[in-house]
Amino acid sequence: MLLKKQTVWLLTMLSLIIVLSVYYITAPGGTDDLAYLEAGKKSGKDATVSGVANDDLFTALRLERDEVRDEMSADYVAVAGSEDASAEVQADAWAKMTELQSLTMQESTVETLIKSMGFDDALVSTMNNQIKVIVKADKLSKKEVVEIMNVANEHLGSSKTVAVEYHASK
């Protein structure tokens, strides 16, 4: 019995998520040094990330962002490969999937550029019209915030609002 490409792709992604989850849970030091961290001020909301060590915060947030993106991508692939959907709907799903992949690469580029500015780690996430940047630093000067905002605007679009946060390195 032959499996469709989208079924194989979906099973592969689910397997990858399971393997990464098991690795993350069983990684050395994963549960020994848990701390409660405040994720900082978000636009209008306060969020708390609990049960995550500071060094693992960026990994956890990155994993969460990637899981959401993988689900969105899987939905787009399902629609694009559906025989029941019209050609227009399939093309739209394909375009959205391509746009999502492009956005992910742009965010990765911005993260690399921010790290090259001297920060230990950086996480960039774009949702709707907002770019959220979290850097690992003990403090941020106004100049550094402006530089980070300029890099984000340059690579992800100047029409979006940029929020910059930082978390101490321990």
pLDDT digits (tens, 9 = 90+) for 66-108: 888 888 888 888 888 888 888 898 889 889 988 988 999 999 9
Q: How far apart are CA 124 and CA 68, in angstroms?
A: 14
Match domain 50-167 to its CATH number in 3.40.50.20, 3.40.50.300, 1.10.287.4300, 3.40.50.620: 1.10.287.4300
- Encoding tokens for residue 163? 């929020």
pTM over 0.85: no
- Encoding tokens for residue 12? 């592969």
157 Cβ neighbours under 8 A, 6+ residues apart: 131
* In the chain, where the domains are located: 50-167
Give yes or no for a contact between 89 and 138, defined as CB atoms under 8 angstroms apart.
no
Q: Residue 14: which of 58, 65, 74 has the closest Cα?
A: 74
